Amino acid sequence: MAYDWLKGIKDHYDVVVIGSGLGGLTGANALAKCGHSVLLLEHHYQLGGLATWFTRKGGHIFDISLHGFPFGMVKSIRKYWSQDIADSIVQLKGVRFINPQFQVDTTFDREDFTRLLIERFGIAPATVERFFTDLRAMNFYDNNTETTGEMIARYFPGRDDVMRFLMEPIAYANGSTLDDPAITFGIVFSNFMSKGVYTFRGGSDVLIKRMADELKKNGVELRKHVAVEKVLTEETGGQRRVTGVVANGRTICCEAVLSNANIKNTVLQLAGEENFTPDFIAQAKAVRINSSSCQVYLGIRKGETLPHIGDLVFTSDAPRFSSEELVGLHTRSRTFSLYYPDTRPGSERYTIVVSLNATYADWKTMSEEQYQTEKARLIEESLASLERFIPGVRGKIDWMEAATPRTIEYYTRHWNGTSFGTKFEGLKVSMDLPSQLPGLHHAGSVGIIMSGWLGTINYGIIVANQIDKFLLQKKRTAA
Amino acid sequence: MTKEDCKKLVVDIIADIAPDEDLSTIKPDVRLRDQLQLDSMDFLDIVMELRKRHGIEVPETDYPQLASLDSCADYLTPKFATKG
Ligand SMILES: Cc1cc2nc3c(=O)[nH]c(=O)nc-3n(C[C@H](O)[C@H](O)[C@H](O)COP(=O)(O)OP(=O)(O)OC[C@H]3O[C@@H](n4cnc5c(N)ncnc54)[C@H](O)[C@@H]3O)c2cc1C
């Protein structure tokens, strides 16, 4: 008989958390600290969701989404995890742009961007100041219909080099385009500009291990290899509510579910259309999924070294920035993340991860043969590009591998293999979920602003607050 | 509970949320946001701690009542009283 990954669990929990991405982990931790019994179920054999890593022959460890996050992580990790974990967050100072329009080195913060916009791009200081101040003051509730492209053009008309400088990194960070609402750019860009780009020293593996230790300490029951198939509901007194989940074929009762699966998976598959009003289902179906990613992993042979060419290098051969070019099958825009030995102190190893934005549909329809050919092309093009910055690097590499939107779909089960959740409208569906079906909550990459490491951690807390309130009300009524 | 006691409980919570801030000089009639580095997540943490530590629920529509220490005291003191 197959191993029972649910062996020894209880029949009932206050909350079942579906998925162990940063939103799920953080929500689970907060709820356990509030005194609720929490069961967290992850279908993969590893916790972390997209905050993940893998090891390969030759002693390589590759990080998937450890390219950089805003300074706000220090505060959120300290408050919602521990001071100890927060102490490993360090700044990445070497951010570079290399494209036909400009070559720039920056620390990626407001001060340095101000300097570059004035000195390198010749923008009037007052305009730069106004841009940053206005952006900082943008409010989620403002109901502004301006797009990011329109907003940037308003401050820097006719300057598509400035557009690229401002937009390209954010498009890599969250899959947003010039057509997305300006507020999504304003929030994420301001978060980065406040103090620059940060990383977690020790790597994703160490971060997730420390989080798992913290969860166990706080009493969360953690189970991997467990896929939740269904959220169970029941109608009492004319109101449907959550009663449990089916996972690995077994029924587990609970008062509330926190789903860290994609919002469309949550509504349309895990809960199912029968639990919602037709209007809500129409809204959920209309939510547009964000773009996906390809990556190329290059492992440097033990004993070899690399020159320090920067931590995060945004490169493109495209003449100008275009949101369409960035996600095309034949995009010539790539981010190189270079991991030097200080990423994992004591390891002496170097790795390079190349990230490209991608469109799921391009990859989904390929035959197996074409799929292998296209992956080989991705690797070859990335190597050719890298050779221009690090001549001879090819000879130092002893592991090469590519991942695509299909890989993301396989490991996370996310709708259309999305890397960055949904477009803006997904946030409303996510937030309205519990009023449609009491007990069902969603926290995870959604609406562009609630994505990335910082966004999902904070959203996990926002939703945990609502679940805590819901559970206490329930406990009080029952008492 | 007096309003002063109530303010002290709120300051205790803020001290845990923002350990790097100097809370000895907070002006009770000035918005907390204007004198401390508190963002909307910090205010959410205050709400969660009020529930956890004192069983007090602050509905989302009342979040503006937590703007300054004085307004916190005006709003929360009766809530502490009815809690018994
Ligand atoms: C290539 C790439 C690079 C990125 N780089 C960065 C970066 O540098 N900085 C940054 O801040 N962000 C980055 N991001 C984004 C960031 O990684 C994500 O926004 C964030 O990690 C998502 O967290 P989440 O809570 O939404 O959950 P996810 O990480 O999406 O995890 C969801 C989890 O739920 C599980 N699950 C789903 N369905 C079920 C089910 N039915 N039963 C059980 N388990 C289930 C999945 O297996 C998965 O583990 C990157 C993303 C990608 C793809």
> What's the average model confidence in pLDDT over A305-316?
97
| Percent of chain B residues past pLDDT 70, beyond the cut | 99
Query: Residue B84 — pLDDT band, cuts 50, 70, 90?
Result: low
Q: Does the CB atom of residue A463 touch ligand 1 within 6 A?
A: no
Tell the burial category of A189 from Cβ atoms under 10 Å away from its Cβ (0-12, 13-18, 19+). Answer: buried
CB A268 within 8 A of CB A261: no
Q: In DSSP terms, which residues pair with A336 in a beta bridge? A: A313, A354
- Cβ-Cβ contacts under 8 Å between A and B: the total is 24
Tell the burial category of A470 from Cβ atoms under 10 Å away from its Cβ (0-12, 13-18, 19+). Answer: middle
Question: Running DSSP on this structure, what letter comes out for residue A43?
Answer: S
pLDDT of residue A2: 80
Q: Which residue in chain B is spatially nearest to A34 when comparing CA positions? A: B52
Tell me the ipTM for this assembly: 0.94
> What's the average model confidence in pLDDT over A272-294?
97
Determine how many CB atoms are found less than 10 A away from the CB of residue A12.
13
Cα–Cα dist A289/A284, whole Å: 11
A383 CA to centre of ligand 1 in angstroms? 27
CB A336 within 8 A of CB A99: no
pLDDT of residue A253: 98
Most B CBs within 10 Å, among A78, A87, A466, A469, to test the B interface: A469
Q: Does the CB atom of residue A413 touch ligand 1 within 6 A?
A: yes
Could you report the per-residue pLDDT of A411-432, keeping only the tens digit for each? 999 999 999 999 999 999 999 9
From the CA of B74, how many Å to the nearest CA of chain A?
23
pLDDT of residue A141: 72
Q: Is residue A476 pLDDT above 90, yes or no?
A: no
Closest-CA residue to A201 (of A68, A308, A296): A68
Q: Does the CB atom of residue A228 touch ligand 1 within 6 A?
A: yes
Sketch the domain layout of chain B as residue ranges.
3-83
CATH superfamily of the domain spanning A12-51+206-288+420-478: FAD/NAD(P)-binding domain (3.50.50.60)
Which residues of B are less than 8 Å from A468 in CB distance?
48, 51-52
CB A190 within 8 A of CB A129: no
Q: B41 and chain A: CB distance < 8 Å anywhere?
A: yes
**Would you call B51 and A79 a contact, using CB atoms and an 8 Å cutoff?**
no
- Please tell me the pTM assigned to this model: 0.97
Cα–Cα dist A126/A41, whole Å: 52
Q: Does the CB atom of residue A333 touch ligand 1 within 6 A?
A: no
Q: In DSSP terms, which residues pair with A337 in a beta bridge? A: A312, A353
Q: Does the CB atom of residue A53 touch ligand 1 within 6 A?
A: no
Cα–Cα dist A32/A475, whole Å: 15
- Cα-Cα end-to-end distance for chain B: 10
Cα–Cα dist A183/A449, whole Å: 8
Q: What is the mean pLDDT of chain A?
A: 96
Most A CBs within 10 Å, among B48, B52, B54, B60, to test the A interface: B48
Could you report the per-residue pLDDT of A99-127, keeping only the tens digit for each? 999 999 999 999 999 999 999 999 999 99
Instruction: Find all residues with CB under 8 Å of A392, minimum gap 6, and list them.
Output: none
The overall longest dimension of chain A from CA atoms, in Å, is: 71
Determine how many CB atoms are found less than 10 A away from the CB of residue A307.
10
Q: Does the CB atom of residue A447 touch ligand 1 within 6 A?
A: no
Task: Report the alpha-carbon angle A206-A207-A212, nearest 5.
Answer: 95
Closest-CA residue to A314 (of A95, A121, A101, A107): A95
> What's the average model confidence in pLDDT over A311-323?
97
pLDDT of residue B83: 76
Report which protein residue has its CA nearest ligand 1's atom 19. Answer: A452
From the CA of A206, how many Å to the nearest CA of chain B?
25
Cα–Cα dist A57/A394, whole Å: 18
pLDDT of residue A142: 75
Q: Which residue in chain B is spatially nearest to A457 when comparing CA positions? A: B41
CB A291 within 8 A of CB A338: no
Query: Residue A144 — pLDDT band, cuts 50, 70, 90?
Result: confident
Could you report the per-residue pLDDT of A163-214, keeping only the tens digit for each? 999 999 999 999 999 999 999 999 999 999 999 999 999 999 999 999 999 9
Which residues of B are less than 8 Å from A30 in CB distance?
48
The architecture that CATH gives domain B3-83 is: Orthogonal Bundle (1.10)
* Token pair belonging to A151: 């907003």
Cα–Cα dist A111/A119, whole Å: 12
Cα–Cα dist B84/A88, whole Å: 44
| Percent of chain A residues past pLDDT 90, beyond the cut | 96
Domain with CATH 3.50.50.60 in chain A: 12-51+206-288+420-478
CB A21 within 8 A of CB A50: yes
pLDDT of residue A1: 62
CB A22 within 8 A of CB A479: no
Closest-CA residue to A42 (of A2, A86, A5): A5
Report the interhelical angle of A110-119 vs A160-174 (nearest 10°): 150
> What's the average model confidence in pLDDT over A452-466?
98
Report which protein residue has its CA nearest ligand 1's atom 49. Answer: A49
Q: Is residue B71 pLDDT above 90, yes or no?
A: yes
